[in-house]
């Protein structure tokens, strides 16, 4: 069964460093998302991406964050100048919209900022 | 998107059917009911969705009331691996939507 894959599964980084989280969405999907979940809290929407541009973003997704589709298969989330409070699980997702409207999530990348 | 209301927690005996309710009284005609679950800190997992007819797949059944103001997710033979937080979400089908996760129902399956 097709699935969303994410790398790395866990990354530890020093405060102030830049981090890139990578995702390979399901191959025929065109709509992509990033979510995050701080330990013990709800899953929060960060950004959606379609047709090589941001479709929607939340208040969390400020200038510290950026997304990119560098090639035909990868979708990345870059976090610049990481802060302690960026420690969270980051989930990538993709949707089969417009043929359907079901969102499928990856298993997440756990980011620890020290 | 319509707001949903779910119980905070439920429990069920292993092997029995787990019935998880959801109220969505403000749902509009072109909104679908979706169910997801999150096992521990894994990625949210899609379970099932429906518009007005009852739906069944290999994971669960979805029963939507005739007025569409509430629904029930049924896990027919719950196992310990079904212990998770279950989210009932209402989404427009006509445009690409984002999921806004609430608190969901924490389902515990007891041996």
The per-residue pLDDT for range B34-75, each reduced to its tens digit, is: 999 999 989 999 999 999 989 999 999 999 999 999 999 999
Going by pLDDT thresholds of 50, 70 and 90, the confidence category of residue B92 is: confident
Contact between chains at A45 and B42 (C-beta distance less than 8 A)? no
pLDDT for B25 beyond 70? yes
CA distances to A12, A108, B63, B92 from B49, in Å: 37, 23, 10, 12
Contact between chains at A91 and B34 (C-beta distance less than 8 A)? no
Q: What are phi and psi of B82, to 5 degrees?
A: -85, 0
Which residues, including other chains, have CB under 8 Å from residue B80's CB and lie 6 or more apart?
B14, B109, B111
Residue B60 is predicted with a pLDDT of 98
Higher-confidence position of B110 and A99: B110
Q: Under a CB-based contact definition with an 8 Å cutoff, are residues A59 and B105 in contact?
A: no
Kindly state the tokens that stand for A39. Answer: 């330990």
Bond before A98 cis per omega within 30 degrees: yes
A24-80 residue pLDDT tens: 999 989 899 999 999 999 999 999 999 889 999 999 999 999 999 988 789 999 999
Q: How many CB pairs under 8 A join A and B?
A: 55
Contact between chains at B96 and A101 (C-beta distance less than 8 A)? yes
Residues in chain B: 111
- A92 to chain B: nearest residue by CA? B43
The reply to whether A7 touches chain B by the CB within 8 Å rule is no
Residue B2 is predicted with a pLDDT of 63
Higher-confidence position of A1 and B42: B42
Residue A99 is predicted with a pLDDT of 81
Q: What are phi and psi of A6, to 5 degrees?
A: -130, 145
In Å, the largest CA–CA distance within chain A is: 42
Residue A1 is predicted with a pLDDT of 74
Q: Under a CB-based contact definition with an 8 Å cutoff, are residues B84 and B39 in contact?
A: yes
Contact between chains at A102 and B97 (C-beta distance less than 8 A)? no
pLDDT for B1 beyond 70? no
pLDDT for A84 beyond 90? yes
The reply to whether A18 touches chain B by the CB within 8 Å rule is no
């Amino acid at each position: 069964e097709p699935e969303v894959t994410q790398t790395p599964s866990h990354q530890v980084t020093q405060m102030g460093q830049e981090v890139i989280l990578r995702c390979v969405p399901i191959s025929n999907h065109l709509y992509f998302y990033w979510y995050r979940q701080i330990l013990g809290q709800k899953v929060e929407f960060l950004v959606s991406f379609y047709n090589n541009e941001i479709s929607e973003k939340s208040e969390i997704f400020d200038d510290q964050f950026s997304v990119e589709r560098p090639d035909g298969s990868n979708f990345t989330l870059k976090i610049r100048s990481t802060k302690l409070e960026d420690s969270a699980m980051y989930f990538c997702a993709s949707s089969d919209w417009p043929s359907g409207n079901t969102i499928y999530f990856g298993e997440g990348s756990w980011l620890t900022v020290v | 998107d319509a707001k949903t209301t779910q119980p905070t927690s439920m429990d069920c005996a292993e092997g029995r059917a787990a019935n998880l309710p959801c109220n969505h009284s403000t749902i509009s005609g072109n909104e679908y009911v979706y169910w997801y679950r999150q096992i521990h800190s894994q990625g949210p997992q899609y379970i099932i969705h429906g518009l007005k007819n009852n739906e069944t797949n290999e994971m669960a059944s979805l029963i939507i009331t005739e007025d569409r103001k509430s629904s029930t997710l049924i896990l027919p033979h719950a196992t310990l691996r079904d212990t998770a937080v279950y989210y009932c979400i209402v989404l427009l089908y006509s445009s690409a939507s984002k999921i806004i996760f609430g608190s969901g129902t924490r389902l515990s399956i007891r041996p």
